[in-house]
Amino acid sequence: MPSTTTLSIPARALLLGVFTGARSATPLAVLALQHDRPSLQGAWQQWPVFRSPVGRGALVASAAGELVADKLPVTPSRLKPGALLGRVTAGAIAGLVIGSVGGSSVSRLQTAVLGGVGAVIGSYAGYLGRTALGWVSGLPDPVVALVEDAITVTGATAVVTAD
């Protein structure tokens, strides 16, 4: 018997923020890839970066670049102030996007805040989880980062496509 899970708009905003904390560009890229999904109809689809195929392509390219750059030893910690601020901003934008879906009655300010808070949670949880998994497993950091990538891409896709 199939089951369906429905996530509320606030829960989706918070979760997208959490995934933004792991990979700042991934949730926005997933949204760009799902631009024409009927269940995601909202004002966000007319924002210039999402309206344009070039803008959507840039979001996807940015996410792909981040997946590669994250494995480089010169990449700064996600917990550095500038990196964390970028993640909070991206999380807030993802929250704004999901808050505009389907004429939601939830305040866009609320969903933006939830996305930003989720990004802080995801940044610290991702850092701690990646560090702990590397320590326990003995795997090199780039391998552990691939696990984090898979969780982030799969999770963000599941949240964005949840009806």
The tokens describing 123, both together, are 């940044």
- The residues facing 18 across adjacent strands are none
Helix, strand, coil content of the chain in percent (nearest 5): 75, 0, 25
Residue stretches of the chain with pLDDT short of 70: 1-5, 104
For residue 1, the model assigns a pLDDT of: 46
For residue 163, the model assigns a pLDDT of: 76
List phi, psi (to 5°) of 36.
-95, 10
Tens of pLDDT along 128-153?
Answer: 999 999 999 999 999 999 999 999 99
For residue 5, the model assigns a pLDDT of: 61
From residue 81, alpha-carbon distances to 17, 78, 86 in Å are 17, 8, 9
- For the chain, how far is it from start to end, CA to CA, in angstroms? 18
For residue 105, the model assigns a pLDDT of: 77
